[in-house]
Amino acid sequence: QVQLVESGGALVQAGGSLRLSCAASGRTFSTAAMGWFRQAPGKEREFVAAIGSSVSTFYAESVKGRFTISRDNAKNTVALQMDSLKPEDTAVYYCAASTRYYSATRHSGVYNYWGQGTQVTVSS
C-alpha cells in the first residue's frame, strides 16, 4: 500500500522557520514529481512548491525566496524548508506525488498520491 506521511507541522511565530518532511512508502518515487500544497480554513487548496525527478523546482510566487523544496531519493523523502514565515502561511500542508509526470508541476490534477496533511500555524 502506497503511503505519504507528512511531519514537522507546528505553531511558530512570524519570522520563524519550520521544516516539513514527507516520507513515502509502498513504492519508490525517485522518478516521480513531488509537490507540496496547502489549504487554509475557508480557502481552496493551493500549490506551494514542486520538484521533478531531475531536481528541477517550481514555486508559487507567494513563497518564492522563502521556501525550499528538496528530495532524498535514497530515503524516499521530500522536504519543505520554510523560512521567514508569515501568518498567511497558516494552513494544512499536503505532500503529493505524481507517477504520471517527471517534471515539477503546479497542477494538482496530475498528482495521484496524497498525504493526510500536517498543520502549520504562524502567529503574528
> What sections of 14-102 are H helices per DSSP?
none
Per-chain mean pLDDT for the chain: 95
**Residue 120 half-sphere exposure toward CB, CA atoms < 13 A:** 30
CA–CA dist 90, 32 (Å, integer): 27
Least-confidence region, from 13-22, 76-85, 88-97, 100-109: 100-109
DSSP bridge pairs for 39? 92
Which region, left, alpha or beta, applies to residue 8 given φ > 0 means left and ψ of -120 to 50 means alpha?
A: left
Q: Which pLDDT score is estimated for 54?
A: 86
The tens digit of pLDDT for each residue in 31-87 reads 899 999 999 999 999 999 999 998 899 999 999 999 999 999 999 999 999 999 999
